[in-house]
């Protein structure tokens, strides 16, 4: 489902706050998991991208937990870097291939060619071609979305890990290596650019420490609690709705809406939705909020302070309030009036 179709789905789901509604978020895509080999987790849309684009054989094992780098959540794997781009609600593989290719810029293989060999595919965007096993691998495992454009032609390169020389080709997000010693059909693998990058530019020490359970996924950057002291609102925030096609709102807690949301401390719109209508339910106090109220989000072991800048009522069809923003913002959503639920209460806050 496209992100903005998901927005309409969210508002539709928020209309129904009946006692029979499921009280859990159980969308299977993106369920948190842990890799015992490295002690690191994989979850939400990072796991969805990982699974859809080939998984372990393509990207390798996770080497870090998720952390904020250059204003967005990132995670490193043996062969890749994943980035969450809130402005387009998509995961992308980082340009590790461009980084690694810098040291080869003077080689003839990196100079644009005028035409491609017969049967090869030519990319005018970079002036390079793709052919044979590398072309088949590129096509079978996500193509442009996974690997980007080729930055070189094929050439021979010594592998620093095993000292052997292989035929390689560089792409924006990867390095292809041809290993003739492997079984036919499995001879193309990705170079360990994630390991290579971390050796030169280490991740924060805490992000490289193994964790104890899958529940620790994204723990250091996702909001876990929200409070507005003046009106007595204080509740847990759960990470749910990590598939574009499904979004289950936990009945007794708020939900950090994953598919279109940013993360505290980053550019974009962090969206938190919650129920009203039950006795003592989490957002029952929200209609009493006023411009100027302080709002606090807990991330990891610290609180981030915001000020409410706008309170408005919209129709369910007015999904623009969930659009991403160029600066950091928090948007709270619930249904009003209680018992009728015909409109949406929107509270928007900015960091202090």
What pairs with residue 235 in β-bridges?
Answer: 226
Three-state DSSP class for 283? coil
Q: Phi first, then psi: give them for residue 41, nearest 5 degrees.
A: -105, 170
* CA–CA distance, 66 with 49 (Å, rounded to integer): 15
pLDDT at 282: 82
* CA–CA distance, 88 with 94 (Å, rounded to integer): 15
Which pLDDT tens digit goes with each residue over 137-167? 999 998 998 999 999 999 999 988 888 899 9
pLDDT at 248: 58
Cβ contacts of 116 within 8 Å, gap of 6 or more: 122, 129, 131
The mean pLDDT value for 183-196 works out to 91
DSSP 6: H
Tokens of 343: 């409109």
* CA–CA distance, 305 with 293 (Å, rounded to integer): 11
Fold of 3-28+217-351: Sortase; Chain: A; (2.40.260)
* CA–CA distance, 263 with 325 (Å, rounded to integer): 12
Q: Percent of the chain at pLDDT above 90?
A: 63
pLDDT at 15: 37
**On the CB side of 159, how many CA atoms lie within 13 Å of its CA?**
19
pLDDT at 84: 94
Q: Percent of the chain at pLDDT above 70?
A: 88
* CA–CA distance, 238 with 248 (Å, rounded to integer): 11
Can you give the residue ranges of every domain in the chain?
3-28+217-351, 33-208
* CA–CA distance, 286 with 63 (Å, rounded to integer): 41
The closest of 324, 322, 320 to 333, measured between CA atoms, is 322
Which pLDDT tens digit goes with each residue over 64-106? 999 999 999 999 999 999 999 988 888 999 999 999 999 898 8
Across the chain, mean pLDDT equals 87
pLDDT at 278: 65
CB distance 89 to 260 below 8 Å: yes
Q: Compare 340 and 260 and report the one with higher pLDDT.
A: 340
Residue with tokens 């009003």: 336
* CA–CA distance, 179 with 107 (Å, rounded to integer): 22
Which pLDDT tens digit goes with each residue over 229-284? 999 999 988 887 665 555 556 666 778 887 778 999 999 999 999 888 766 668 88
Residue 331 reports pLDDT greater than 60: yes
The model's confidence at residue 319, banded by pLDDT at 50, 70 and 90, is confident
CB distance 37 to 61 below 8 Å: yes
The closest of 180, 242, 184 to 32, measured between CA atoms, is 242
Q: Compare 308 and 29 and report the one with higher pLDDT.
A: 308
pLDDT at 256: 85
Span of 24-38, 136-150, 196-210, 292-306 with lowest mean pLDDT: 24-38
CB distance 273 to 253 below 8 Å: no
């Amino acid at each position: 489902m496209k992100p903005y179709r998901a927005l309409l789905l969210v508002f539709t789901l928020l209309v129904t706050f009946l006692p029979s509604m499921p009280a859990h978020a159980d969308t299977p895509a993106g369920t948190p998991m842990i890799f015992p080999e490295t002690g690191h987790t994989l979850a939400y849309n990072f796991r969805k991208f990982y699974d859809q684009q080939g998984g372990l054989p393509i990207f390798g094992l996770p080497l870090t937990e998720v952390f904020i780098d250059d204003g967005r959540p990132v995670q490193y794997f043996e062969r890749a870097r994943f980035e969450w781009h809130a402005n387009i609600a998509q995961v992308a593989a980082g340009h590790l291939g461009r980084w690694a290719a810098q040291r080869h810029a003077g080689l003839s293989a990196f100079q644009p060619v005028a035409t491609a060999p017969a049967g090869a595919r030519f990319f005018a965007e970079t002036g390079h071609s793709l052919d044979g096993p590398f072309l088949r691998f590129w096509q079978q495992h996500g193509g442009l979305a996974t690997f980007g454009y080729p930055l070189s032609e094929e050439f021979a390169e010594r592998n620093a890990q095993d000292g052997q020389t292989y035929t390689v080709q560089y792409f924006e997000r990867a390095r292809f290596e041809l290993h003739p010693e492997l079984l036919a059909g499995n001879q193309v693998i990705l170079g360990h650019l994630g390991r290579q990058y971390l050796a030169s530019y280490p991740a924060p020490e805490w992000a490289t420490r193994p964790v104890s359970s899958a529940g620790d996924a994204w723990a250091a950057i996702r909001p876990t609690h929200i409070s507005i002291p003046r009106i007595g609102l204080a509740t847990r925030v759960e990470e749910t709705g990590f598939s574009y096609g499904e979004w289950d709102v936990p009945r007794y807690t708020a939900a950090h809406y994953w598919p279109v949301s940013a993360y505290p401390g980053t550019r974009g719109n962090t969206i938190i939705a919650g129920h009203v209508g039950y006795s003592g339910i989490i957002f029952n106090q929200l209609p009493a909020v006023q411009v100027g109220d302080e709002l606090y989000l807990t991330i990891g072991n610290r609180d981030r302070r915001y000020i409410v800048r706008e309170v408005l009522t919209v129709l369910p069809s007015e999904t623009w309030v969930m659009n991403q923003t160029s600066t950091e913002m928090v948007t709270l959503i619930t249904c009003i009036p209680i018992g009728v639920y015909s409109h949406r209460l929107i509270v928007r806050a900015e960091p202090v």
